[in-house]
Amino acid sequence: MRILLALAALSGLCACGLSPMYAGGTSAATAQGLAAVEIPAIQGRGGWLVKNALDARFAAARNGGGEASPQYRLDIRLDDSLEALGVLNDDTISRERRILRARYQLVDLATGSVLLDATAGSDAGIDVVSSEYATIAAEQKALENLALEVADRVATQVALTLRARGAASAAKQP
């Protein structure tokens, strides 16, 4: 009975046009597009973390299909801020919020046209404690977590853009 329900649900999803983003493995348009994305260095520690996270996400496409020559460039500018949220009566800070925002553009290197111009961001709350070391460690860990989250959002949006571009070019071919 469970198998029949699962098959019915699966056939319903296929009928509505949903399909896996990476269907076709490394030969799929999305994977080939991701393999051809060049990511220049991004300033700051947060930039280094975001670039490494994006490189890790695109590595499967690069390794599976060989080394592709860059067709796209992903330009990213980060805004990393730390602001006080909780201020006590004696003017000490009890809580902080770290905010990481990315403005990014996916550029087609052949034409110079911007295929995607978007932003992604996230924030995290940090408790400020009496130990300065613990507070600094919490701020750094928050930056690491935010960089991973921002990289996930950027990678997903880039993959969706490249998938749509691949579908559009496939529809134009006879």
128 is a domain residue: yes
Give the Cα separation of 138 and 132 in Å (integer).
Answer: 10
Taking the mean position of all CA atoms in its chain, how far away is CA 133?
30
138 is a domain residue: yes
Per-residue model confidence as pLDDT tens digits over 49-96? 999 999 998 887 666 555 568 899 999 999 999 998 877 778 788 899
17 is a domain residue: no
77 is a domain residue: yes
Confidence band of 157 (pLDDT split at 50, 70, 90): very high
116 is a domain residue: yes
Give the predicted TM-score (pTM) of the model: 0.78
User: In one letter, which amino acid is 81?
Assistant: S
Q: What is the 3-state secondary structure of 95-130?
A: EEEEEEEEEEEEEECCCCCEEEEEEEEEEEEEECCC
5 is a domain residue: no
Task: Say which residue the tokens 């280094």 belong to.
Answer: 48
14 is a domain residue: no
Q: Residue 119: which domain range? A: 25-172
Whether residue 132 has pLDDT greater than 70: yes
80 close to 99: Cβ distance less than 8 angstroms: yes
Lowest mean pLDDT among 39-43, 90-94, 103-107, 117-121: 90-94
Average pLDDT in the 19-29 region? 52
Domain count, the chain: 1
18 is a domain residue: no
CATH code, domain carrying 131: 3.30.160.150
Supply the mean pLDDT for the chain. 82
